[in-house]
Chain A
Amino acid sequence: MTERTVLCVDTADDIETISAAVSGEESLTPVEATSVTQATETVESESVDCVVTEYDLEDGSGLEIVEALREEQPQTPVVLFTGARPGEIDTASFEEMVVEYLNRDLPDAADRLGFVVDDVITHSAQVGFLAPDDEGSRLEALAEYDVDGMPIEESFSRLTDLIASHFDAAVAFIGLIEEEKEDFLACTGADWDSLTREDTICTHSMLQEDVMVVEDINEDKRFANNDKLHNLDIVSYAGANMTTDDGQIIGQVCLIDHEPRQYDESQKQDLQDFADTAMEILDLRQQLLDAKRTEVDA
């Protein structure tokens, strides 16, 4: 069973309540902090799977920790475990800090806390994107491809060179969409390795049946306030699905430009053809790898 680290934050007098409740779940390992400062330092220096925090702390509020966490680890879930009623919590400066709220004064609150923490981690319950209903099957399909074990980078790099040239695009890339991030297997025009999934446009594009075009991210609230996209100088986007024979969408072939841009139907079809080609290359490489391993085993 995978160990999951949970940052537990409360005053020195009460921290034991949260830690004990969390450690009651076999898979959860509590890490303690007794102040906003200490908790903020922790989320800035180490990865945690979940944060459980009291609202009233000696040097500030639990929502300040959420603010720091969203900067460092935006997809990590938070449970606000507090006796303060929702109406008593000052949310004025934290209006988009969605958290799980659990009233610790409820009779079964401590018993319920471990279950809730385990659930929000297991189901990525606070991510800023919508995952497909069959996400588990999709990830299983993706795991069938041993990308690290195959020499795919050169093939894909040649392909993204061709794609960028064909469309005269600033950037062309091939990315596989993992549970929490997108890994770029090849990227022409930029030096990108991976991006947190909720920051990618591909996590939206993969839900569309057809090629998705965003002519100008500044005109779309799904992307307009995404600093990561702006920092990468992304203005326009077009993405086509890489779909397995079983119908699971595991990746995207995409075009990026640094200015608003439109694509006509013919260009969209070309991009989809490139995505189908990338999928065929990936399938053939995997079949070759499987054949070699079978040969060695024999």
Chain B
Amino acid sequence: MSLSTGSGFTADSLGLDPIDDGTSVLLTGEDSDALEAVFYRLTAPRDDEKAVLLATDADGRSVKQSLGRAERGADDRAAVLTCAGPAQGDDVRTVEDVSDLTGLGMQFSTLLAEATGEVDDFRAGILLCSTIMSEVEDTRSVYRFLNSNFLSELRRSKALGVCAVDTSADIGSDVTSTITGMKTSFSAHVEVESAGRNRATLDVSGLPGNDGTVDVSW
């Protein structure tokens, strides 16, 4: 059951060729500003798309502002589930406790199901998975959450998914080993390295036509 039109997802603000439907991107980096900037440019929905974002550390308003800066009007086409801030209307919902993966998963799935019913193409993102890992006692639960509430949804709906991990965070386990393992379950990996103010170098793998090093600015 696929609801996609199969047109791919543009990422021209990062100088990337369109990304195939159903792609899951693991986005990593130790500079949180650069990581966020790239995350929003990958997940900002274009005119006929929607975005569903899970924000662990930012409130809905700042997430929407960041989306609007990345793509004009993207803030109006996004639904946000935040663990840090008040709910606002239907588009910004909250989960009080980031370690409540049961509630988080159900809320996130509900937003994704609503997006699936509204548009053919949507982008889904998690910012930051490293925060979830640092808050949850057993990493197996995080993997269960990613499998059940993220990767499965991408597989079924052919959406574009981006999962961001701040590699400077204390996630309670060997971050290099954890990232190496996670990379094998995602179809693509983008490593972000800051190259100065509003500039970064992306090391891209698994995105056909884009693999290699890309310098970006915003």
Contacts and interface: CB of A to CB of B under 8 A. Distances in A.
A166 interface: no
Given A96-B138, A101-B109, A130-B181, A86 B103 contact: yes
A-side interface size class:
35 or more
A226 interface: yes
A109 B186 CA distance: 29
A130 B182 contact: yes
B217 to A, nearest CB: 31
A125 B213 CA distance: 33
Interface residues of B, number: 43
Contacts of B152: 100, 119-120, 123, 125
A132 B173 contact: no
Contact of B181 (A91, A100, A127, A208): A208
Given A119-B156, A128-B144, A131-B185, A221 B101 contact: no
Interface string A193-218: 00000100000100111001010000
A129 interface: yes
Contact of B140 (A101, A103, A209, A226): A226
Nearest to A92: B100
B106 interface: yes
Of A85, A115, A125, most B-chain CB atoms within 10 Å = A125
Interface string B100-117: 111101110110010000
A114 B156 CA distance: 14
Contacts of B4: none
Interface string B107-151: 101100100000000000000000001001111110111111100
Nearest to B149: A98
B185 A98 contact: no
7 contacts: A87-B107, A95-B101, A96-B137, A97-B102, A98-B105, A133-B187, A221-B138
Interface of B: 1, 97, 99-103, 105-107, 109-110, 113, 133, 136-141, 143-149, 152, 155-156, 171-174, 177-178, 180-182, 184-187
Given A130-B147, A130-B181, A131-B184, 14 more contacts: A77-B148, A86-B107, A96-B99, A96-B102, A96-B136, A98-B141, A98-B144, A99-B105, A130-B146, A130-B182, A207-B181, A220-B173, A221-B138, A221-B172
